[in-house]
Each structure stands twice: as structure tokens, then as C-alpha cells.
Copies of this chain bind each other. A is one copy, B any other.
Amino acid sequence: MGTQFDQLLGKVNEIHDLEKVTWLLSWDREVNMPAAAAEIRSKQMGTVSKMVHELSTSDAMGELIEKATEELEGAGADPKGMEQSLVRHLARDFNEKKRFPIDFIKRQSEASGIAVQKWKLARENDDFSQFVDCLETTIELCQEKAEHLGYEDEKYDALLSQFERGLKTADVRRVFNAIKAETVPLLEAINQNSAAVDDSLLHQDFPVEIQKQVAPHFAEAVGYNFAQGAEVGTAAHPFASSFSRYDARITTRWYPDFLSTSLFGTMHESGHAMYEQGTGEELERTPLARGTSMGIHESQSRMMENLVGRSRDFWKAHYHVLQDAFPSQLGQSTAEDFYRAINKVSSSFIRVEADELTYNLHIMLRFELEQAMVNGEVTAAQVPEAWNAKMKSLLGIVPPSDNLGCLQDMHWTGTSFGYFPTYALGNFYSVQLLEAALVQNQSIEADLAQGKTGELKKWLGENIHQHGKKFDPPELVTMATGRPLDHEPFVRYAKQKFGELYNL
């Protein structure tokens, strides 16, 4: 490649190194760092982040991107190649960052710092009124952010594009509405017949030390490669993080009286980490060396957690591992008992504890509310009432307090409106991808039937992982499945799976 591109790449490599360093600082903060070091660590992270920002928004960088773009176009470089993808991404990112006035960045960061504190206070006192002003500020900042970013159809498009580039609010709305129309009556029927599935098996004493011993088996079973990672870490809010494709790590949390959290958390984060482990070598040390969007990333974690990890075949093959580890708790049960227990569905208040089916309804509620807030149809003060009304219509229950309602998530302390929908998009993408994979590669089905994921991982590696951030989600999903996001695979899957479980 030509000299302008090489120069650009050298700079980009260094900026990316610094960015990955902030990821490690953050991983370490959650997994190892003593609380006493929090203040200094945030200063250290601030220093590195400031350098990343300065380097990536400098005039010199802007010029270099332009020149490299011209050079590549002149040379007729492959538009699907790494070079073209990279300059496209850099130009977009550069222009986007330049759109925000420094004053806005500062106000946004200050408001978020205060909002986190106020949100914690409001939670402690279960008192929404202590948070309402901050939420109003968040709404105003999100509106302003949308204006800075610009949009064609609706404000929320601008916000959504920050997390799921190329997808319009209208696309998401159509898919969500189609799935909502099927899920709400399905959930009503399930709730009528809730006794059909018993999950008491999962609520027993499960010594944490033994949970820690079995977790690696399940990480590997879904395809996580420990040689490109580290042992399963412990974190209050589990996450996966990667510092290169050769070092993608997972964390989980452990409850001594409930098995699902650590188990499915491990498989979920393994799915995320596998995406990072599988990104193409040629993307390393560039911003293309990561998953393309939050939604596609979530499709990988959800696939391992739910489509593989909550499948009947998987437990037929692996239940003995849990039974050996917990003989007195699980020795008398069957893989089928366990399969049913881990798939129990019921309406509940807290999103992060929700099952595979109701989880999407929690997201739809937030998606609808965020739009209403940004469009000025719901004020901060009206949020609790609007929340409860939507809970009633979607899940049939009303939270008895705001702590169990609109105060439960930390997300609205910052301007990350548009992030929530990616959680549900991940669920829908995951089924669409798996359906396509099963059609394209006949050996995946036989493999999964034996609780193995090697063939599936191969397909994901070729169709999703290796591409990193080279393609936007709609393009990537179309390349992999032949069409953009589609609601039908998930609807088929949910009706079949839960219909059978609940004899509907």
C-alpha cells in the first residue's frame, strides 16, 4: 500500500494501542483494583483518554485521512478490503467527533458525573424525585446530541446510529412491533400455565468454589479459547473485554444459592469474547479490530447463552458435568428437568433478571420511552407513570416502587439513549444468524445435537467474527443471511420453544 495510507496506519496503530490500554485499565479496575485506588485510576484513565481524543481529532489526522482516502481511490482499492473499510471508518468517526462542540462534551461529562451520584442517592431512598432533574438534563442533552449528529427522519435515528450504525428507528420499530404482537399473547398464555415449568432445581446451595471449578468447562464448551484469554474473572457487573484478538477475557458473578447467574453469565461473556478472538489478524491494532456494533456483539453472546446454552441438546451432552460437581443438589434430576428449569418464563420487574422471552419486552418499553422523551412527548417527571403503564400493557404487572421500575438501570445517567434497543436486536439477530448457518452448513446441526459448537464457531468466524468492524450491521447481516434484520426467525423460534415447554 502507498505511503499516505502507511503513515495513517502508523498513527492509527498507536491510537488504538492507547485505546486498548484504557480497556485494560477498566478491566483491571473491575476485577483486581482495590476501592481505595478509584480516584487515581480515574485520573490515569482520563489522561490516556485525553490523549486518544487529541490524537484522533487533530488537524494532522484529518488531513492524513483525506490524503489516504484519495490515494486508495486513485489506486482503485477494493471497497470491501481492509484499507478502504478503515479509511471509511476513520473519516466517519473523525467527522462525527468534530461535530460536537467542546462545550457540549464538557457539559455532557459533568452532567453524567452528577447524575450517577444522584441516581445512586435516589436508589438508596427509592425516591425518583431526587433524580428527576438529572433525567431532564439527560433528555435535553440527548436532544442536543441528536442535533449535532444530524438526522433525516427522526431525532432518535441519530442516537441509535451511535450504537447500531445503518439501522433506522423505523426499522427497529417495525421489527419490535412485529415481535411484540406475538410475544404479548404468548406470555399471557404462559403466565396462565406457569406451573408447567418448575425451576426450584436452580435455587439450592451451590458452593461458589465449585461453581468456579466448573465455569471453565462451559466457557470452552461454547467455544471460548483460554489460550487467547485469561481465567474467568469475578466482577460485580459481568462483562467481557479484549486488549487484542489474542487476549479477550470474560468475567461473571457467583451466587451461592442460584446456579444460573454464573453459568449463563459465563456462556454469555464467552460469546462476546469469541467475537473478539475471531477478528481478522490484519485488523489488529486498528479500530476495525472489534465487533461491528452493540447489537451484533449481543447476537454472539446471546447465541451462546440462549440458543446453545439453553438448548435441550447441549444439556443432554453436558449435564453430567454439573451433576458430578453438585451430586447432592442435581444427582437425582435429569437433563430434561434442568432444560425445563433454565427456560422458565415469567413476568418480572427487573430487566437483568428477565428470561429469554420477557427480556425483549423490557427493552421495547425503554425503546418506546426513550423516543417519547427525545421527542418531547414525555417529560422526566412523567417517566414513572409512563413506565408503569407500559409495564402493565407489555408484561401485565406494575412495579410497586420506582426502584423496581424506572430507577433500576443506570443507563439514563448519560446520553446513551439508543443503546437499550441493541440488547433486543442481539436476540433477534442471533436467531436469524443461526437459522442461516444451519441451512448453509449441514454439519452444524449434527454437531449441536452432540453439544458441540466447533462447526457453528467456524461458520460464525467466517461470516461474522473475522470481519470485525469492516462492515455496518445491515451489510454484514445481509452478507451472512441474504437479508437484513428480520423478525420472523425469532418469532418461529420463540413460539416453537416455549409453546412446547408450556404445552400451548
Contacts and interface: CB of A to CB of B under 8 A. Distances in A.
A227 B34 contact: yes
A52 to B, nearest CB: 11
Interface in A208-241: 226-231
Contact of A285 (B25, B43, B231): B43
Instruction: Please tell me how many copies of the chain the complex holds.
Output: 2
> How big is the A interface, by class?
35 or more
B24 A247 contact: no
Interface string A397-434: 00000000000000000000000000000000000000
Contact of A36 (B24, B40, B246): B246
A48 B228 contact: no
A144 interface: no
Contacts of A148: none
Given A17-B47, A21-B25, A28-B24, A41 B230 contact: no
Nearest to A284: B40
Contacts of A228: 34, 36-37
A161 B370 CA distance: 63
A77 interface: no
A358 interface: no
Contacts of A178: none
A28 B229 CA distance: 12
Nearest to A231: B32
Nearest to A19: B44
A37 B243 contact: yes
A58 interface: no
Interface string A247-271: 1010000000000000000000000
Given A37-B246, A40-B285, A246-B40, A230 B32 contact: yes
B40 A247 contact: yes
A244 B13 contact: no
Contacts of A36: 227-228, 246-247
Given A13-B43, A17-B44, A40-B285, A34 B229 contact: yes
B284 A18 contact: no
Contacts of A229: 34
Contacts of A34: 226-230, 246-247
Given A24-B24, A33-B247, A34-B227, 10 more contacts: A14-B47, A21-B25, A24-B28, A32-B230, A34-B226, A36-B228, A36-B247, A37-B244, A40-B284, A51-B51
11 contacts: A17-B48, A18-B48, A28-B28, A34-B226, A34-B228, A34-B246, A34-B247, A35-B227, A37-B247, A41-B244, A44-B243
Interface of A: 13-14, 17-18, 20-21, 24-25, 28, 32-37, 39-41, 43-44, 47-48, 50-51, 226-231, 243-244, 246-247, 249, 284-285
